[in-house]
Structure 1
């Protein structure tokens, strides 16, 4: 998946190793492409690669161009017309056009800028990489392009030459309460692109065989949340029904900038939760960020359907469609 794309980190390491490197980025394509705009391929000076820009149908030509870019130090825009047969072979219904921007590290893409980008990604700092594909002028932008950042949508600006690559931290879901709903919600969230973490100090609930392969923290929620950290790419879902477990994590989230807070429970249970948060000193506006009862009202019955309603509400909030 795109969230595991480590092409910038790989290209930087290959450059530091003296191999030489270039980054190839999808900047424009047909609507049903196997790799979305912003996807990258790192190409080493010795021909090694990591990542993908097309699913295989144009990689060979991109590698040749990238090696030439490493040699001559100049960026270049590539455009490929993909035939219907080739498109079908990589999972498309029909052919089209794909444009790929190639930047050799060092001569075109400054090493210090790539280092700053890699460091920001490691620190879960959202930023945009802006490049004029005609002149090669480029910069890193923090706090800009709010619509693109919210929608995770890289692309050209209206001038047709300024390309903006969105570098958001991976989405993360923190679930407090290793209950039945969590057993459905966590794998669904992973499919949707979230890194999921479960928190539950109760051994009977946090048993590994109930959540095979998942990350489970058996600390008290306030300690676990402090260890994980909370940011604008984090969603917190509280499922225990137990204020002793839910409230410490909830208070940490209300004091942070997580994009979503959801809490399981009836309307009466939520009213009591609101009273506790008010007594704890939180404002009406802060408390209003809690989605409780959690999930969209779709008439969900059973853990799996409730999980669907939660994930749908999270997506709506993330994309600005649900308040």
Structure 2
């Protein structure tokens, strides 16, 4: 979320002051965890730190900062169900509020946005008693195979915070513009190595149509394995593919195959949802 958020922050700052709300610590059950952020301007807001009464209080405090032209504040949100609590989840959230305004803050927001767009981590500097915060670019999602399941996976993934690449050796897969929002790769498998040459967290999902394409793909990806590597296929096909690549036995230990959480998925969109659920789970708890 940091990458699109700072792009939006820079855009809004060209017209008006904005408050950045960041969850810096949680305890117990809370709707969002450390690193969740949202932006609040005078009459609009985007992204979320959890919704409900807790978020309403954050927005009220943020607009108080905007009205008072104050620089920063800290907010503690109780969710223990007691008097004055913002919910009954049982936990507590510590949230920082930072007002951004003026040319210096715009320059900082633009610099952070550019750094994240380049696939690099960034640091939000400490301010007053607020600690410095690490900011992360979107993870890269490489979809190998642009058939029905690849199309469905792309359609769902583009609604999430991924830097998406789609590869297929078949030119006809891209004729109708289905993957218009992704970086498209056609032709030889060797170019996949460049996709993996990034500081972003890398997730590769193999949805190939045949055994030979799986082997060709893994022969490239296993040289510098991505953090998440998954492959669709029957257990027999998976065994035949891994047996054909004994030189990568160690790298293939991380292969998630058959990919996707078990929800008895059958249609391409059901399969895509099961895959994304597994990828999101990995990103939350690598």
Bin the TM-score by the shorter chain: 0.5 to 0.7
Which position in structure 2 is the counterpart of 1:77?
Answer: 73
Query: Greater RCO between the two (CA within 8 Å, min separation 6)?
Result: 2
Q: Report if the CA contact (8 A) 1:28-1:100 is conserved.
A: no
Which position in structure 2 is the counterpart of 1:102?
Answer: 99
Which position in structure 2 is the counterpart of 1:173?
Answer: 141
Matching of residue 131 in structure 1 with residue 98 in structure 2: no
Alpha-carbon distance, 1:292 to partner: 1.7
Distance (whole Å) between structure 2 residues aligned to residue 285 and residue 298 of structure 1: 29
In structure 1, the residue corresponding to 2:171 is in which secondary structure?
coil
Q: Report if the CA contact (8 A) 1:225-1:249 is conserved.
A: no
Output the aligned Cα RMSD. Answer: 4.3
Distance (whole Å) between structure 1 residues aligned to residue 118 and residue 232 of structure 2: 31
Match among 241, 250, 265 for residue 300 of structure 1: 265
Which position in structure 1 is the counterpart of 2:22?
Answer: 27
TM-score by length of 1: 0.61
Distance (whole Å) between structure 2 residues aligned to residue 93 and residue 320 of structure 1: 26
Matching of residue 285 in structure 1 with residue 250 in structure 2: yes
User: Which whole-Å deviations, capped at 9, do the CAs of 1:3-54 have from their partners, x for residues lacking one?
Assistant: 422156558x96xxxx9x9663213599669xx843346x8xxx9x996787
User: Which whole-Å deviations, capped at 9, do the CAs of 1:202-243 have from their partners, x for residues lacking one?
Assistant: 13333325x263433323333255257444422111111435
Mapping for residues 172-321 of structure 1, pairs under 5 Å: 172-208=140-176, 211=178, 213-215=180-182, 216-226=184-194, 229-256=197-224, 258-278=226-246, 281-282=247-248, 284-320=249-285
Alpha-carbon distance, 1:129 to partner: 3.1
Distance (whole Å) between structure 1 residues aligned to residue 213 and residue 38 of structure 2: 40
> What are the ranges of 5 or more consecutive residues in structure 1 without an aligned counterpart?
70-74, 82-91, 135-161
Which position in structure 2 is the counterpart of 1:39?
Answer: 38
Matching of residue 121 in structure 1 with residue 137 in structure 2: no
In structure 2, the residue corresponding to 1:24 is in which secondary structure?
strand
In structure 2, the residue corresponding to 1:39 is in which secondary structure?
strand
Aligned residues between the structures: 258
Distance (whole Å) between structure 1 residues aligned to residue 274 and residue 220 of structure 2: 24
Alpha-carbon distance, 1:195 to partner: 3.4
Structure 2 CA distance for partners of 1:9 and 1:104, relative to 1, 3 Å: closer
Distance (whole Å) between structure 2 residues aligned to residue 203 and residue 189 of structure 1: 22
> What are the ranges of 5 or more consecutive residues in structure 2 without an aligned counterpart?
49-54, 78-85
Q: Report if the CA contact (8 A) 1:236-1:260 is conserved.
A: yes
